[in-house]
Amino acid sequence: MDRTSAAPHRMDPAGGCPHAVNARLLAHGPVAPVVLPGEVQGMAVLGHEALKEFLAHPEVAKDARHFTALREGRIAPGWPLATFATVRGMTTADGADHRRLRALVSGAFTVRQVERLRPRVRELTDSLLDDLERAAARDGGVADLRGHVAMPLPMGVIGELLGVDAEHRDRLHHLSNQVVATDIGPERALAANRELVAVLGAVAAARAERPGDDLTSALIAARDEGGDRLTQEELIGTLMLMVIAGHETTLNLITNAVRALCAHRDQLDLVVRGAATWSDVVEETLRWDAPVSYFPFRYPVRDLTVGGTVIPRGTPVLAGYSAAGRDPAAHGPDADRFDVTRPGRPGAVRHLSLGHGAHYCLGAPLARLESTIALERLFTRFPGLDLAAPEADLAPHAGFVGNSVRALPVRVS
């Protein structure tokens, strides 16, 4: 059956909590036509099984050469989602090109390599918890967990891995935030993109002058080997991808996990009593409140039928991770329930929130390490930590790619 006749859903550039919309769309089927900002026609794959099939499909590309509207010049300059299509890096490459770009950095993100970062991540977390406590002491016991811990922890770690000097990190966070926002105008989007390229160019130049034991220096060495190992444009694209993917996501995960535990204290108690682990909390948060909500883009290289719906060749398709995480067809009738014992249950369906197939998240071990350490240190040190604002007052994060809240005020005790 072809369900493409359903009225397209207009993706809200301002974002907002995705779950109510996802449930409504999923009720019509696992694949939905959508209208992207700029009146660009797209599709979203939302059902767990359909998404799993689509992500690993051999006739689905990530290279924007397959994006018909872009190829035909129908995408305006400054289109808010352009970076996702045009940045030159592994996330917009297929086949051998993808393997070449991914191999240049993958060695730094193996479980073994990442495990070596554990003491440093712990140290950084503890110093950020000191900051959180100091900020709360200044402000009646309340401080923003997102700004004081969830953001600077992954930014600090990826900054150190890439050899980014501390003074560039806040600017990089701000710019990468702008680049992934779907609700800023074309001038601001273009300006943020240009500045991000310039700052990363300066980071690369500094490392070229004084190489260190960091990924940027390793990438520069690959570029300077010549041949077809890495072009300058790919070097900057790869740095951009590492900065954005390396912190925007983990920032949302830590924020969403703390929020979920505060709203479900019985689940926090299960961990404190040893009936579940911090890692269970991380996996359940990834499923229940996916940090990456709708990831742009993939393009079928021919008309494809997925989940009963035809996706025409060259259509930009969003991977609907937040919807798949709550798909009752995969996770059961209680898919909407936050249940930290679920990941350990026999037969529990694994979430897709870190991707699937060739583009599976490169930073998954790092994201898991950072988030489990952050939660464990936070709730061990402040067992009474709780939300300092009613749930209803938490403003959703801008844009529909990421899924979180703008700030998470907590009472630190």
- Return residues touching ligand HEM (CB under 6 A): 90-91, 102, 241-242, 245-246, 249-250, 253, 291-292, 295, 319, 321, 353-355, 359, 361-363, 366-367
- Give the Cα separation of 44 and 355 in Å (integer): 15
CB closer to ligand HEM out of 147 and 246: 246
CB closer to ligand HEM out of 63 and 133: 63
CB closer to ligand HEM out of 329 and 364: 364
CB closer to ligand HEM out of 79 and 321: 321
- Give the Cα separation of 253 and 250 in Å (integer): 5
DSSP run (H or E) holding 54: helix 48-55
Q: How far is the CB of 370 from ligand HEM (least distance, A)?
A: 7
CB closer to ligand HEM out of 243 and 271: 243
| Integer CA distances (angstroms), 344 to 42, 52, 93, 250, 279, in order | 36, 21, 35, 22, 10
Q: How far is the CB of 160 from ligand HEM (least distance, A)?
A: 12
Q: How far is the CB of 178 from ligand HEM (least distance, A)?
A: 19
CB closer to ligand HEM out of 91 and 412: 91
> Strands 294-300, 142-144: parallel, antiparallel or unpaired by DSSP?
unpaired
- Give the Cα separation of 336 and 234 in Å (integer): 40
- Give the Cα separation of 40 and 317 in Å (integer): 11
Q: How far is the CB of 137 from ligand HEM (least distance, A)?
A: 30
Q: How far is the CB of 206 from ligand HEM (least distance, A)?
A: 20
CB closer to ligand HEM out of 85 and 245: 245
Residue pair 95/66 in contact (Cβ under 8 Å)? The answer is: no
Q: How far is the CB of 55 from ligand HEM (least distance, A)?
A: 7
Q: How far is the CB of 333 from ligand HEM (least distance, A)?
A: 25
Q: State which residue has the least CB distance to ligand HEM.
A: 363
Let me know how many helices (H) and strands (E) the chain has, helices first: 18, 11
- Give the Cα separation of 219 and 235 in Å (integer): 7
Residue pair 410/385 in contact (Cβ under 8 Å)? The answer is: yes
Q: How far is the CB of 26 from ligand HEM (least distance, A)?
A: 18
Treating both helix axes as pointing N-terminal to C-terminal, what angle do 364-381 and 265-272 enclose, rounded to 10 degrees? 90
CB closer to ligand HEM out of 295 and 379: 295
Task: Give the number of other CB atoms < 10 A from CB of residue 329.
Answer: 14
| Integer CA distances (angstroms), 247 to 69, 216, 234, 344, in order | 30, 16, 20, 27
**Amino acid code (one letter) for 311:** I
